[in-house]
Chains A and B, each alone.
Chain A
Amino acid sequence: MTETHYDRAPGDTTPPPELDSEIASPFLVYTTGLVLAVILTATSFWVANTSLLWGPGVALGLAVLAIAQMGVHLVFFLHIGTGADNTNNVLALAFGVLIVILVVGGSMWIMTDLNGAMMRPAELMNPHMQH
């Protein structure tokens, strides 16, 4: 087995020694992350306020921008990458994402469904009167 492996801590800024020359300086990594994050944030605020876009699509667009920005933060600030030495960190992250999707998606699905079932009688149609 000639392949080399290094353990990487989440947030590690130092590349493995022999890769030093191939990887951009850590300062540049953080700055790239900042620039990308600023662009995505500015786009989010623009999307939320513009009337140029199709209204119902705005929420979806905002969700996509937010997920992209979370990815930028993970890669450039937390240094969770696709490298072979990051496997444990990525697996933990994947499990966390699974739970988050189950909790948020499941809650919204079930509660929307229940609201739909509750609101058939006309007098219960006003969702603003829920407590």
Chain B
Amino acid sequence: MNVALAIDDVRHDAQPRVDEAGPAPKRIVVAYGFWVFLLSDIVMFSALFAAYAVLVRATAGGPTGAQLFNQATVAIETACLLLSSYTCGLMSLAVNAQRRVATYSWALVTFVFGAAFLFLEIREFATMIAEGATPQRSAFLSAFFTLVGCHGLHVSIGLIWLVLMMAQVAVKGFRANVQRRLLCFALFWHALDIIWVGLFTVVYLMGVAP
């Protein structure tokens, strides 16, 4: 197969054959590196999960999870984050098709659902702290606020990142490096939803199960 001809023919998003192309294209390398970072982030979360699982009964006579957690709030939070992940996927499709208006619209929907999740979580924390269930109260609550708070922090960083990416799309357009950053953002946002699946199962559902 004639390599020069293949390069002329190739679509902007098509990957050349490995045995003809030499080193992988930059976006493959970037996304792979970011994937490895995400896995290391998940390993860090696993340490927090382990700490929570070990300390969940160490309530020091204070409130337990079953007394504190409100399942309706958790269900709405879960729905917000899941829909946000879905619209983030649709945003990726709009980015691939280089459609600006669709990208902005889906980014806005993603941001609104993410912000709604964060608002509900902060309100939940504020209610708990107002009831005296602060991180200082017991080892269980320290582990709870560290684990759930760390996830909330990641969501906050993701929201800031999303705004920055939309500013970059507005100023720079769909350049190759902007597209790579948007790919990394989508990976980050989907990974956060995976962590939330573990979180609502271990913390909220197993926590209130009899």
Name A's B-contacting residues (CB within 8 A). Answer: 1, 4-14, 16-17, 26-27, 30-31, 33-34, 37-38, 41, 44-45, 47-49, 55, 58-59, 62-63, 65-66, 69-70, 73-74, 77-78, 85, 88-89, 92-93, 95-96, 99-100, 103-104, 106-108, 111, 127-131
Contacts and interface: CB of A to CB of B under 8 A. Distances in A.
Interface centre among B30, B35, B75, B187 (most CB of A within 10 A): B35
5 nearest A-B residue pairs (beta carbon): A9-B31, A96-B39, A107-B50, A66-B201, A48-B205
B43 interface: yes
A66 B201 CA distance: 7
A80 to B, nearest CB: 8
B85 interface: yes
B1 to A, nearest CB: 10
Contacts of B35: 9-11, 89, 92-93
A130 B58 contact: yes
Given A88-B32, A92-B36, A33 B90 contact: no
A70 B191 CA distance: 9
B205 A44 contact: yes
Contacts of B50: 103-104, 106-108
Interface string B25-60: 101101110111001101100110111011101111
B131 interface: no
A74 B32 contact: no
Contact of A59 (B40, B93, B209): B209
Contact of B82 (A13, A38, A96): A38
26 contacts: A5-B18, A5-B19, A6-B15, A9-B28, A9-B183, A11-B92, A11-B186, A13-B92, A16-B14, A26-B93, A27-B90, A30-B89, A33-B89, A48-B208, A58-B210, A62-B201, A62-B206, A66-B198, A73-B194, A77-B89, A92-B36, A100-B42, A107-B51, A107-B54, A127-B57, A130-B58
Interface of B: 11, 13-15, 17-19, 24-25, 27-28, 30-32, 34-36, 39-40, 42-43, 46-47, 49-51, 53-55, 57-61, 71, 75, 78-79, 82-83, 85-86, 89-90, 92-93, 96, 138-139, 183, 186-187, 190-191, 193-194, 197-198, 200-202, 205-206, 208-210
